[in-house]
Amino acid sequence: MSVKTRTARWSYSKHQWLALVGGISLLLWGLSGLAHIAMVLFGPQQAQFMPPPAAVSLEGARPIAETLREHGISEAVAVKTVPAKDGSVLWQVTGDPMAERRYFRPADGTEIKDGDRMQAEFLARHFLATDRQITSATLQTAFDADYPWVNRLLPVWKLEFAGTDGLVAFIHTETSSLAAVNNNTKTVLQTVFRALHTWEWVPPDMDWLRVVVVGAMVASLLALALTGIAMLVTVRRKKRLPGARGWHRIAGYVLAVPLIMFSASGIYHLIQSALVSPASQLRMGRPVDVASGQWPLERDWALIANGRNIASVALVEGAMGQPLYRLGLAPKAVMGGGARHHGATTAVQGPARVPTTDAEIREARFAGLKPDGPAIYVDATTGAVVKTGDRDLAVAIARRFTGAPDSAVTNVELITRFSHEYDFRNKRLPVWRIDYGAPVKASLFVDTGAGVLVDRVADGEKLERLVFSFIHKWNFLVPVGRLGQNVIVGLLGMALIGFMALIGLRLDIVRRMRTRRYGRALGDEANSRPAET
């Protein structure tokens, strides 16, 4: 018997044996994958992409250092300006990172009672463009089924709106962002995805069982695809088989490779997640000594703001531990230079057109939109302009979180777009990427505007992120747009379910019934023979 014939027979027998488990697995993950695509395409959508506009004007305002001292605040994790409802700004002060933020009016330093909740409601109405009544407002400090860890940001305000659609907004006031938005449709789809695709209903102490069972089922899909390809190569047909068998074989030529891509990358992702439990790496900076800010920025504001479009002001800790004012400038249209993103050097562009339509907002959410420009740093004690810039501060912040010397840094670059290593779930742009060699062997993503470690990706995780992004989620289709990508993947998913799973399962059930009838017939024939004497 030739090798080709032996391979064909072996593949056929194993393909039949795997059909039932593989077909059910394909139905399970195919349908739940379609639920995720439907959630992205048809879930609730924010009406505004950018935070509320605000004019930073502190001329004649009370010095923030005096305001903080009056209220007994000597240290704070973050002090910065945020948009106010009237178009001006408020001072937002973060003490405990998991507690409500405090708000002070720049003009006279008075504190706003229930300021964090009121700010959350203001932001929610801005992003969703609704004046509907808010029936419940709760500060959420932990992830749950409605607000899973992939959203990264905590704490958030969970705001429930009146109405039958179950509209819920999750607002992160520290970044003035809409962290997530749900309604009844998205909640159902999200529940289906988490129950059938990621199996998050399995208790944490039994996660090993989830990994084993899911791994075995996805491995059956991979084996099913590989044995199917072996059959296509070794068994040639001069004409198409009639009925379901013919359609199943034709579909195999087109869908076997996508099935291998989905299943192989899924197994890789499952194993990597089991080895390194997925969790938010977001870490706020250490408290800044705000009491030593003796130089009143506000009194020289007219001179500082002259000829500059200042978008934000924040008190941050400098590279040497000193308190600094960070003056964030609005972006200008500048060509040349070079900010690196996605591993390539490109020209620095001015502010992109603000997305307004649903399609533009969805695209911008995943691609990213750089909301601000460079920054000027001023010593909060002396008023002197500090020569250090965002790059030096980014390295200093990374040093605080790693404890590693600067000699371990291999690369520093400004990230202005999301990518497979720093994806849209982090929600912050721009950030600085600091790559470390030994002993850290990781990349840190730092927001210098708030002194925050946004994400940390170990070198050992980067290949899996690349594979999952391009092989499982098909992000190589990004040039066709987010909508086009989801449509293509959705159509592929439906084809896999229809032509591979349903037809394959039907063929397997028919084969099993035929085998059972044949076995029963043989048994009846044996029973009907006269007994030997």
For residue 345, the model assigns a pLDDT of 33
Whether the per-residue pLDDT at 72 is higher than 80: the answer is: yes
For residue 533, the model assigns a pLDDT of 42
Contact 393, 316 (CB under 8 A): yes
Q: Of 370, 489, 346, 486, which is closest to residue 418 (Cα–Cα)?
A: 370
Rg (CA), the chain: 29
For residue 478, the model assigns a pLDDT of 80
SS (H, E, C) 416-483: CCCCCCCCHHHCCCCEEEEEECCCCCEEEEEECCCCEEEEEEEHHHHHHHHHHHHHHCCHHHHHHHHH
Q: Where are the domains of the chain?
A: 1-43+188-283+474-514, 64-182, 292-473
Instruction: Choose the weakest-confidence range: 50-54, 159-163, 300-304, 524-528.
Output: 524-528
Q: Of 437, 472, 475, which is closest to residue 458 (Cα–Cα)?
A: 437
Contacts of 201 (CB under 8 A, 6+ apart): 194, 195
The Cα–Cα gap between 136 and 127 comes to 18
For residue 465, the model assigns a pLDDT of 92
Whether the per-residue pLDDT at 442 is higher than 70: the answer is: yes
Residue type at position 213: V
pLDDT class of 522 with cuts at 50, 70, 90: low
Whether the per-residue pLDDT at 58 is higher than 70: the answer is: yes
pLDDT class of 318 with cuts at 50, 70, 90: confident
What are the pLDDT digits (tens) for 450-471? Answer: 888 999 999 999 999 999 999 9
316 SS3 class:
strand
- Average pLDDT rounded to a whole number, residues 499-519: 72
- 506 to each of 242, 336, 491, how far by Cα in Å? 14, 61, 21
The conformational region for residue 132 under phi > 0 = left, psi -120 to 50 = alpha, else beta, is beta
The residue behind tokens 């003056």 is 327
Whether the per-residue pLDDT at 212 is higher than 50: the answer is: yes
Instruction: Choose the weakest-confidence range: 253-257, 283-287, 477-481, 515-519.
Output: 515-519
Would you list the DSSP string of 350-415?
Answer: -PPPPP-SHHHHHHHHHH-------EEEEETTT-PBPS--HHHHHHHHHHHHH---GGGEEEEEEE
Q: Tell me what percent of the residues of the chain surpass a pLDDT of 70.
A: 85
What are the pLDDT digits (tens) for 149-195? Answer: 888 899 999 999 999 999 999 999 999 999 999 999 999 999 999 88
For residue 453, the model assigns a pLDDT of 92
Average pLDDT, the chain: 83
Pick 290 or 395 by higher pLDDT.
395
Whether the per-residue pLDDT at 36 is higher than 90: the answer is: no
The Cα–Cα gap between 176 and 214 comes to 38
Whether the per-residue pLDDT at 142 is higher than 80: the answer is: yes
What are the pLDDT digits (tens) for 215-238? Answer: 999 998 898 888 888 887 787 766
Whether the per-residue pLDDT at 240 is higher than 90: the answer is: no
Whether the per-residue pLDDT at 434 is higher than 80: the answer is: yes
The residue behind tokens 């399970």 is 28
Whether the per-residue pLDDT at 68 is higher than 80: the answer is: yes
106 SS3 class:
coil
Pick 54 or 212 by higher pLDDT.
212
The Cα–Cα gap between 90 and 509 comes to 67
What are the pLDDT digits (tens) for 342-391? Answer: 333 333 344 456 665 666 655 665 566 555 667 888 888 888 888 878 89
Pick 368 or 283 by higher pLDDT.
283
pLDDT class of 446 with cuts at 50, 70, 90: very high
The residue behind tokens 């479009």 is 309
Whether the per-residue pLDDT at 525 is higher than 80: the answer is: no
Quote the pTM value.
0.81
Q: Of 519, 31, 68, 16, which is closest to residue 315 (Cα–Cα)?
A: 68
Whether the per-residue pLDDT at 341 is higher than 60: the answer is: no
pLDDT class of 338 with cuts at 50, 70, 90: very low
